[in-house]
Amino acid sequence: MTLKKPLLKVLLVGPRTQLFVTLTAVLCTLTATGLSLAALAQRGARSSASPGFIAELGVFSLLFLALVYGGLIYQVARAGYFWRLIRRQFTNETVTLASARPLTVLIPSYKEELSILRQTVVSAALLDYADRRIAVLLDDPPQGSPEDMAALAAARIEVSRLHEQFAAAAGPLQAELESFLTRRKSRHTRADLEAQRLSRLYEEAACWIEDQAVQWICGNHHAERFLSSRVIQRVAAELRHSRETLVGARLSLVEAQAHYWRLACLFRVSITSFERKRYSNLSHAANKAMNLNAYIGLIGGHYREGRDGPHMALNACSPGEATLSVPPADFLLTLDADSVLTPDYAQKLMAIMQADERIAVAQTPYSAFPGAPGALERIAGATTDLQYIVHQGSCAFSAAYWVGANALLRREALVDIRTFTEERGRQVPVFIQDRTVIEDTGSTIDLIRRGWRLHNHPERLAYSATPPDFGSLAIQRRRWSNGGLIILPDLIRHALRLKNGPSLGEALIRAHYLVSPALANLALVMLLFLPFDPRLSIVWLPLTAAPYFLVYALDLKASGYGWRDLLRVYALNLLLLPVNLAGVFDSLRQLVTGKKSPFARTPKIEGRTVTPRAYVLFQWLAVSLLALSISGDLAQGAYGHAVLLAVNISVFSYGYLCFLGWRDAWRDLAGGGKPDAGPDIAIASRPASSWGTAGAEPAYVSTD
């Protein structure tokens, strides 16, 4: 049965209606849960129930409640999101040129494709913010194979080339500003002539951006199309709009000066690169957090290269002796090297930060690039787009977490939570903790323990790449599911220290964010594959999930996806069960052994990343076990449970065919003629035609 268009329009439009739908869904979920537990308790209370059945009933009920917990958190966060929209708990104010405080954009990069790195740098360079600079933190090893050294050299050259491009464009506009100030001082200004001159400059700036776009965008990838339409063309259009407003206008001197200042700042951005691994006295730990920490520790200082035995070191010195000076910055914008920002990102978030000095992190959790060509990339992007709603809603309960792909950070807050760790006999500063592979989540707890707050701005201003194949997605999602259990004790200690304790909403949402990979995935696996007593099959149980799936489907539709994508999302989540459980196991292993898990970077390559054999085998084993369970259910007359398992088998098979592919799965299982890389190395399989001169070997993307 399909919804009629008028009803569909009511459900999809308007935050008040959406809030009502969400609260109704929460009420229905709680009602169905209560009826389910009552029915289960009634069966357990029967005199014929054995102690074994009572124990089984208890385990089953706990697993059931774990899944209900996850669904309710999504619905509650969704309600918080729409409540924020109704209350308009956000601002569209922007900072002025005069109030812009120094901002440094940090882009950590490890063996990135040049086209991907270029997109990120260009989007950061075109931010509509006056006082900004960009530091690309190249983390490639300074020594390696000829191919690696050539790639590192190309990255350095690309950064320098982009700096020169923008500097060449900024020079004439700066000269125009100085010329105007001279004319104004000598009183040789005419309002009509200044308007004409500014109109011409706006058009020339727009044409320059469009001309450079030919070099910045080298293909027709959907991320490049997004950069073109949502960043480059948008900036050019805004400049031409400013030109049109000047036609026939009579400007005051103050207005004219504001226009000249804006043009002078348009392309005035310093773009540099830095390589921490060149220096022995900086951290070499193989993760993104320490790459950022190494540079953050240098901000505001002057340094000179020197020798440290056979190695190079970077030592503090006076400004006159410095070979490297890192300008001070009140705010930092961390940006992953596969992300793109809209031009108004910094202006809007900086206004929020400057309005509240206790906000340590202001962000807009990233969305997926629209228009993905592959089914897996599109559906994985859908889960990202809907997670955005959870992040926004969590802010209504003061339970926001830092999402590391992009964020505006207050450096004062990072200094406040700074610690030190010993590495190779030296003390190195740690601003962003690297105890887990989800450094942003761990640092969130550090910040709230010191009284800082986090803010999610409810606009989609940042976009990031989604892995295009199951092998690379598995690496990303395994990392995401690793670390929450390690951070959970810190959250508990923080809650116990609070005088009045956190609110119920904050406690439940923060805890769920950390435990959901373990709780939800373990509960689903056990409910699907353990042979529970058929008497535990209650008609109310599936009804508890119906409200969650309804609002999830509504959110998919509102985000530009289709109703059928709900099935595809569920199929992808089933396929990711072993991946998420592997991440949970990594957390447990670190808790027991104290040894940090390696930071596995998501491969960003042409071609396909091989899926580890264990994940492929899990899918085949899952379908076989479910088929055996159906046979047992039919023999015992548990037809309802058999139908439920049959549906999951169908979804498993569909997901296997759609997202992994039987042929690719068989190649991965057979090894594809390549060595087994183990769990922490992804083997990137490229077509021979794309290997170029280095095509004799597959590309290995290591966690180091």
Give backbone dihedrals phi and psi of 464, rounded to 5 degrees, phi first: -140, 160
Residue labelled with tokens 């931010």: 127
Residues in the chain: 704
What local confidence, expressed as pLDDT, does residue 671 receive? 72
Q: Is residue 78 predicted with pLDDT exceeding 70?
A: yes
What local confidence, expressed as pLDDT, does residue 501 receive? 81
* Integer Cα distance of 294 and 316 in angstroms: 14
Mean pLDDT of 8-16: 64
Sign of the CA dihedral running 231, 234, 238, 240: positive
3-state SS track over 184-214: HHHCCCCHHHHHHHHHHHHHHHHHHHHHHHH
State whether residue 425 is helix, strand or coil.
coil
Q: Is residue 596 predicted with pLDDT exceeding 90?
A: no
Q: Is residue 338 predicted with pLDDT exceeding 50?
A: yes
Mean pLDDT of 304-315: 87
What's the CATH code, domain 103-366+403-466? Answer: 3.90.550.10
* Integer Cα distance of 665 and 617 in angstroms: 9
- Find the range with the poorest average confidence among 12-26, 255-269, 399-413, 575-589: 12-26
What local confidence, expressed as pLDDT, does residue 381 receive? 95
The pLDDT confidence band at residue 702, using thresholds 50, 70 and 90, is very low
What local confidence, expressed as pLDDT, does residue 5 receive? 47
Q: Is residue 164 predicted with pLDDT exceeding 60?
A: yes
Mean pLDDT of 562-584: 94
Cα distances from 688 to residues 112, 135, 697, in angstroms, run: 20, 35, 10
* Integer Cα distance of 598 and 287 in angstroms: 8
What local confidence, expressed as pLDDT, does residue 666 receive? 85
What local confidence, expressed as pLDDT, does residue 160 receive? 97
| Pair of tokens at residue 83 | 């409540």
- Helices 540-558 and 51-87, interaxial angle, to 10°? 30
* Integer Cα distance of 233 and 239 in angstroms: 10
Q: How many CA atoms lie within 13 A of 401 on its CB side?
A: 28
- Find the range with the poorest average confidence among 124-138, 198-212, 337-351, 671-685: 671-685
Mean pLDDT of 525-534: 86
What local confidence, expressed as pLDDT, does residue 80 receive? 95
- Find the range with the poorest average confidence among 195-209, 282-296, 327-341, 668-682: 668-682
- Find the range with the poorest average confidence among 148-152, 179-183, 699-703: 699-703
Most trustworthy range by pLDDT among 451-465, 603-617, 652-666 = 451-465
The pLDDT confidence band at residue 375, using thresholds 50, 70 and 90, is very high
- Of residues 250 and 576, which shows the higher confidence score? 576
* Integer Cα distance of 548 and 284 in angstroms: 45
Mean pLDDT of 498-524: 92
What local confidence, expressed as pLDDT, does residue 542 receive? 83
- Find the range with the poorest average confidence among 133-142, 536-545, 577-586: 536-545
What local confidence, expressed as pLDDT, does residue 88 receive? 74
What local confidence, expressed as pLDDT, does residue 14 receive? 83
- Find the range with the poorest average confidence among 146-150, 264-268, 313-317, 622-626: 622-626
pTM: 0.90
The pLDDT confidence band at residue 677, using thresholds 50, 70 and 90, is very low
> What ranges make up the beta strands (E) of 424-497?
426-430, 453-456, 462-464
- Find the range with the poorest average confidence among 320-324, 478-482, 561-565, 638-642: 638-642
- Please, which residues have CB within 8 angstroms of residue 157's CB and are 6 or more apart in sequence? none
Q: Containing H/E element for 271? A: strand 270-274
Q: What share of the chain is helix, strand, coil (3-state, %, to 5)?
A: 60, 10, 30
Q: Is residue 76 predicted with pLDDT exceeding 70?
A: yes
Q: Is residue 685 predicted with pLDDT exceeding 60?
A: no
State whether residue 388 is helix, strand or coil.
helix
- Please, which residues have CB within 8 angstroms of residue 74's CB and are 6 or more apart in sequence? 390, 548, 551, 552
Q: Is residue 4 predicted with pLDDT exceeding 50?
A: no
The pLDDT confidence band at residue 668, using thresholds 50, 70 and 90, is confident
Q: Is residue 7 predicted with pLDDT exceeding 60?
A: no
What local confidence, expressed as pLDDT, does residue 695 receive? 29
What local confidence, expressed as pLDDT, does residue 197 receive? 92
| Pair of tokens at residue 115 | 């086209």
End-to-end CA distance of the chain: 52
Q: Is residue 404 predicted with pLDDT exceeding 60?
A: yes
Mean pLDDT of 360-379: 94
Q: Is residue 552 predicted with pLDDT exceeding 90?
A: yes
% of the chain with per-residue pLDDT over 70:
91
* Integer Cα distance of 460 and 443 in angstroms: 23
Q: Containing H/E element for 332? A: strand 331-335
Domain boundary assignment for the chain:
5-86+485-702, 103-366+403-466
Q: Is residue 686 predicted with pLDDT exceeding 50?
A: no
Q: Is residue 582 predicted with pLDDT exceeding 80?
A: yes
Q: Is residue 238 predicted with pLDDT exceeding 70?
A: yes
What local confidence, expressed as pLDDT, does residue 97 receive? 59
* Integer Cα distance of 500 and 534 in angstroms: 45
Residue labelled with tokens 């450094």: 439
What local confidence, expressed as pLDDT, does residue 425 receive? 84
Q: Is residue 3 predicted with pLDDT exceeding 50?
A: no
Q: Is residue 556 predicted with pLDDT exceeding 90?
A: yes
What local confidence, expressed as pLDDT, does residue 92 receive? 61
User: In the predicted model, what is the mean pLDDT of the chain?
Assistant: 87
Sign of the CA dihedral running 44, 48, 51, 56: negative
What local confidence, expressed as pLDDT, does residue 606 receive? 64
The pLDDT confidence band at residue 93, using thresholds 50, 70 and 90, is low
Q: Is residue 347 predicted with pLDDT exceeding 50?
A: yes
Mean pLDDT of 428-456: 93
